[in-house]
Amino acid sequence: PRSATVVSSQVGSHRDISHESLSLFRLLEPHIEVLVLGTGDRVERLHPAMLKQMRECGIAVEVQDTPNACATFNFLMSEKRVVAAGLIPP
C-alpha cells in the first residue's frame, strides 16, 4: 500500500527555498523520482544550481503555482510514481 507523510518546514515564500530546505527530499526513503514544488499564486523561478543539484541526485523537479502543483502531485500518485511535494500556500 502507498503511504503519505506530511512534514512542515519554515519555507514561507519561494525566496526561502534553498539547498538546505530541499535536502530533506534527498533523504526520503524510498528515493523519490519527482519533486513537485508549488510556489504560491504563481510560478516563481528557482536558482538553476538548486535544480541541477536535485537532478544530479536523480530527482526531477517540477515548479508550478500551488494549485497546479497539487493537481500534478495527485496525477503522479495515481500513476504510482514515487513523488513528493513542497507546497507554499497561495
62 near 34, Cβ under 8 Å?
Answer: yes
| All domains in the chain, ordered by first residue | 19-87 (3.40.1230.10)
- The tally of CA atoms less than 13 A away on the side-chain side of residue 64 is 14
Q: Distance between alpha carbon 31 and the CA centroid of its chain, in Å? A: 13
Q: Give the tens place of pLDDT for each residue, 14-70.
A: 666 667 767 777 887 889 999 999 999 999 988 898 889 989 999 999 999 999 999
What pLDDT shows up at residue 39? 92
Distance between CA 35 and CA 73 in Å, rounded? 9
